[in-house]
Amino acid sequence: MDNLIFTSESVILYERKRIHALKYEEIICITTVESLQMFIQMSLSKVGELLPDYFCLCNQSTIINLTYAYLYEEHNGHFFVSLSAMLEPFEVSRRCKRNIKNKMLYINKNRGL
């Protein structure tokens, strides 16, 4: 049984005796971590497909909310995206770089930036 429910405004995660309702705009990133205390019974790529368009797979273990993105840069052949409220930038895989760049341009154009 899946333990995620996607609504038009939020994702609801339930496990055992805990239920978390997270509004999309409050989610900065979703990343896989070996010591997770909650387990999602769905692949990260599938989660990415069910989220709104402003979320984007950054690499095989991270989905980012591009409304928090303020910088995309290349450094020594590696690609990085910086998000407000996060200290360290996320490395972008070569496979994901075009999609992230295009979505960032689209989001910022529509925000009037």
pLDDT in tens, 54-110: 999 999 999 999 999 999 999 999 999 999 989 999 999 999 999 999 998 888 777
E-assigned strand segments in the chain: 4-6, 10-15, 18-23, 29-31, 55-59, 62-65, 69-75, 78-83, 90-92
- Full-model pTM: 0.83
Q: Give per-residue pLDDT as tens, 2-20.
A: 678 899 999 998 877 888 8
| Alpha carbon distance 14, 93 (integer Å) | 30
Burial environment of residue 69 by CB neighbours within 10 A (0 to 12, 13 to 18, 19 or more): buried
